[in-house]
Amino acid sequence: DQQVKQNSPSLSVQEGRISILNCDYTNSMFDYFLWYKKYPAEGPTFLISISSIKDKNEDGRFTVFLNKSAKHLSLHIVPSQPGDSAVYFCAASGSTGSGNTGKLIFGQGTTLQVKP
Amino acid sequence: EAGVTQSPTHLIKTRGQQATLRCSPISGHTSVYWYQQALGLGLQFLLWYDEGEERNRGNFPPRFSGRQFPNYSSELNVNALELEDSALYLCASSLSVGGWDNEQFFGPGTRLTVL
């Protein structure tokens, strides 16, 4: 049961253009969402997050949008740079009736290639 | 400020042996999490430790266990290794416990190979 889905395994964009990475989720109990970037042979690096009470969060070139009704979030990178080439994971965190589960549920990842 | 550190970087074991993986969290972080990333699969949640106690575990058999020490470092033990345990094991730490802002910061991982 894949609760967090990244339906595009890969994305290729030109340097300077916008990169849009998408993520869908199924569990309405998720209340916090995160994006991570991962290079080969390294651990994921935290990029940006958003809580379910917001619909947008911006940090420099990175903006995350959340559409709760559609259970969809997206990460926009503007402008894209060759150094952004990596695998991007979205993750969701949720609470149960007894509190924080501590667990992040990850999507399968999208490989972004930014061409010079 | 030092990030999350893990040791060893690589570990090679044979089927049936035990593996011990170690993790040191970011200074000031009290929660430690373990994830498995098997080849071709996403990151799967294994365990969460906070203040020395196991708070939650993922859908893994009991031969995956661990502990957290008083200095908040953690150990993951995998007993009776099977070939499918070959994976990248990632440790993460976080500052917030109980809150919804669960930003976890990851270490570089330990690559476990079971022959």
CATH fold for the domain made of B5-96: Immunoglobulin-like (2.60.40)
Average pLDDT over residues B27-31: 91
CATH 2.60.40.10 fits domain A4-96+103-109: yes
List the single residue in A93, A102, A105 with the smallest CB-CB distance to B31: A102
CA angle A45, A106, A11 (to 5 degrees): 70
Per-residue pLDDT reduced to its tens digit, B89-105: 999 999 866 555 678 99
The Cβ of residue B9 has, within 10 Å, a number of other Cβ atoms equal to: 10
DSSP-derived secondary structure for B43-88: EEEEEEEETTEEEEE-S--TTEEEEE-TTS-EEEEE-S--GGG-EE
Which residues on adjacent β-strands are paired with residue B34?
B47, B91
List the single residue in B33, B90, B106 with the smallest CB-CB distance to A102: B33
The helix/strand/coil state of A83 is: helix
**Cβ contacts of residue B71 below 8 Å, gap of 6+?**
none
Average pLDDT over residues A86-95: 89
Interface of B with A in 59-88 (CB under 8 A): none
Per-residue pLDDT reduced to its tens digit, A57-75: 999 999 999 999 999 999 9
Question: Which of B53, B104, B112, B113 is the best substitution to test chain A (most A C-beta atoms within 10 A)?
Answer: B104
CA B105 – CA B91 distance, rounded (Å)? 8
**Cβ contacts of residue B81 below 8 Å, gap of 6+?**
B13, B14, B15, B16, B17, B18, B19, B114
Identity (one letter) of the amino acid at A76? H
